């Protein structure tokens, strides 16, 4: 459907198991640490870097209702005279300090984040038509 998004089944992804460093075996993911709660396609005349602080944005709407969940936002930017951003919003119920690696990622430097973050794009069978 136009203007829609959906989450995929986590078991479609292979991740490193507890013994990966010994046996190099990956296992099916059982669940996710965060829940995807929204997606935006933003068209702007400038870079949009502070998506969590955008007035009227998803995070601000949640905060206005008294929410205190942790949000992780992936902001894929396409620069040009008009800038486009694909914003993917994830929310987590668990306090950040209960997930040490994520806490280190959030509070660490760019070198650490760049060494850890992987973006694995996946597009399922999507109908495509082009009408000129």
Tens of pLDDT, residue by residue over 45-72, are 999 999 999 888 889 998 888 877 899 9
Is residue 128 over pLDDT 70? no
Share of the chain above pLDDT 90, in %: 54
What pLDDT score was predicted for residue 118? Answer: 82
Query: pLDDT of 16-35, one tens digit each?
Result: 999 999 999 999 999 888 99
Three-class secondary structure assignment of the chain: CCCCCCCCCHHHCEEECCCHHHHCCEEECCCCCCEEEEEEEEEECCCCCCCCCCCCCHHHHHHHCCCCCEEEEEEEEECCCCEEEEEEEEEECCCHHHCHHHHHHHHCCHHHHHHHCCCCCCCCCCCCCCCC
């Amino acid at each position: 459907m136009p203007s829609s998004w959906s989450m995929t089944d986590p078991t479609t992804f292979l991740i490193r198991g507890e013994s990966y460093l010994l046996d190099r075996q990956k296992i099916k993911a059982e669940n996710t640490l965060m829940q995807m709660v929204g997606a935006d396609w933003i068209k702007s005349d400038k870079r949009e870097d502070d998506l969590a602080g955008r007035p009227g944005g998803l995070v601000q709407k949640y905060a206005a209702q008294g929410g205190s969940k942790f949000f992780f936002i992936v902001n894929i930017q396409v620069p040009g005279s008009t800038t486009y951003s694909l914003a993917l919003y994830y929310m987590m119920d668990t306090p950040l300090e209960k997930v040490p690696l994520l806490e280190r990622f959030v509070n660490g430097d760019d070198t650490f984040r760049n060494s850890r973050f992987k973006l694995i794009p996946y597009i399922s069978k999507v109908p495509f038509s082009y009408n000129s």
